[in-house]
Amino acid sequence: MSQLSIEPLSAKNVGALVTGIDLVSLKNDEWQAILEAFHEYGLLVFPGQHLSDEDQGAFGRRFGELEMIVEGHSAVPLSNKTKDGDVVDKDDPIMQVLLGNEGWHTDSSYMPISAKASVLSAHVLPASGGGTEWADMRAAYEALPEGLQETIQDLAAFHSLKYSQARAGMTQSKGYGYDVEEPPLRPLVKFHPVTGKPALYIGRHAHGIPGLENAESEALLDRLLSFACSPERCHEHHWQVGDLIIWDNRRMLHRARPYDIQQARVMKHTRIAGDVRTESGM
């Protein structure tokens, strides 16, 4: 008999803790319960799974096709550790990507088709810090004053990794997402293709709202982001090696939390591709 347990992470209803389950050998009823919880909570935490790269990729494929496979790996390292065991310099392009990820964002919103979901697992951790935090954009939209909901209802913003990294003071100009010539335009309010519920679709990659001056656009997006990511709508996970988390990019923003970059941090990331019908730009 399955010992599957799915419990809200807190009274804030941001995410759920899933225990009593082996993700490598899911039964059909267990998988259906996980999928339903994914749509209900937007964020699922599976402690102590210790999945191999292949098993993490297989779990990700249950949600859809994978967006990123690097050198044959479906669990892509997000790491400041080199193959020789050293840590990369702060100015290294890899480290600049990792530092940029400390800003609120949703994965691949700067790509022609944004990501449906992301899976992250912990393999090597610093002595302190280095957590990951999520913010629920469905709850944020619901909490907006009615007048502000009406103001943004028909607005959209361009999404660009070049923009967000430059604004964060990062200077690298190569890598995944940098070869997108025309930034996609995305509505500020996204209706979830499964639940039908609206959520803010913003984050650090968003900029340049058509019809607004640049300063006005930037001020509105900053205001929305600050409001959306208030503590009552956030959950921070303090990783243990072997933990695995999946979240819905169509509903959640996330960010990495700071740590001593002279210490190694190795995470493995699997990104599930969005549906061209619902995750394409305007």
Report percent pLDDT > 70 for the chain: 99
pLDDT of residue 85: 85
Inform me whether the pLDDT recorded for 252 exceeds 90: yes
Inform me whether the pLDDT recorded for 51 exceeds 70: yes
Of 9-18, 49-58, 109-118, least confident by mean pLDDT is 9-18
Residue 80 domain-assigned (yes or no): yes
pLDDT of residue 206: 98
pLDDT of residue 176: 87
Of 9-18, 54-63, 206-215, least confident by mean pLDDT is 9-18
Q: Which of 37, 40, 34, 77 is nearest to 59 (CA)?
A: 34
Alpha-carbon separation of residue 30 from 5, 79, 83 (angstroms): 10, 32, 37
pLDDT digits (tens, 9 = 90+) for 69-103: 887 789 999 999 988 889 999 888 889 999 999 99
Residue 114 domain-assigned (yes or no): yes
Residue 279 domain-assigned (yes or no): no
pLDDT digits (tens, 9 = 90+) for 163-209: 999 999 988 777 888 889 899 999 999 999 999 999 999 999 999 99
Residue 282 domain-assigned (yes or no): no
Q: Between 70 and 49, where is the model more confident?
A: 49
The structure's pTM equals: 0.96
| Residue-range definition of the domain harbouring residue 199 | 5-273
Residue 232 domain-assigned (yes or no): yes
CA angle 92, 125, 41 (to 5 degrees): 100
Conformational region of residue 130, where left means phi above 0, alpha means psi within -120 to 50, and beta covers everything else: left
Cβ atoms 195, 130 nearer than 8 A: no
Question: How many domains, in total, are found in the chain?
Answer: 1
Please say whether the dihedral angle defined by the alpha carbons of residues 136, 35, 48 and 118, taken in this order, is positive or negative.
Answer: negative
pLDDT of residue 233: 95
Task: State the average pLDDT over residues 273-277.
Answer: 97
pLDDT of residue 91: 87
pLDDT of residue 71: 78
Instruction: Report the distance separating Cα 158 and Cα 205, nearest Å.
Output: 8
Residue 115 domain-assigned (yes or no): yes
- In what side-by-side order are the strands of the sheet with 156-159? 185-187, 156-159, 206-207
Alpha-carbon separation of residue 240 from 4, 26, 124, 156, 218 (angstroms): 20, 22, 9, 38, 37
* DSSP output for 102-119: TS-B-TTTTSSB-EEEEE
pLDDT digits (tens, 9 = 90+) for 226-243: 999 999 999 999 999 999
Which two structure tokens, joined as six digits, stand for 178?
């940098």
What confidence tier does 1 reach under pLDDT thresholds 50, 70, 90?
very low
Spatial CB neighbours of 101, under 8 Å, sequence gap ≥ 6: 78, 255, 256
Return mean pLDDT, the chain.
95
Residue 278 domain-assigned (yes or no): no
Task: State the average pLDDT over residues 56-64.
Answer: 98
Residue 16, beta-bridge partner list: 8, 44
Residue 46, beta-bridge partner list: 244
31: domain CATH number?
Answer: 3.60.130.10
Residue 280 domain-assigned (yes or no): no
Residue 114, beta-bridge partner list: none
Q: Which of 249, 253, 247, 258 is nearest to 233 (CA)?
A: 253
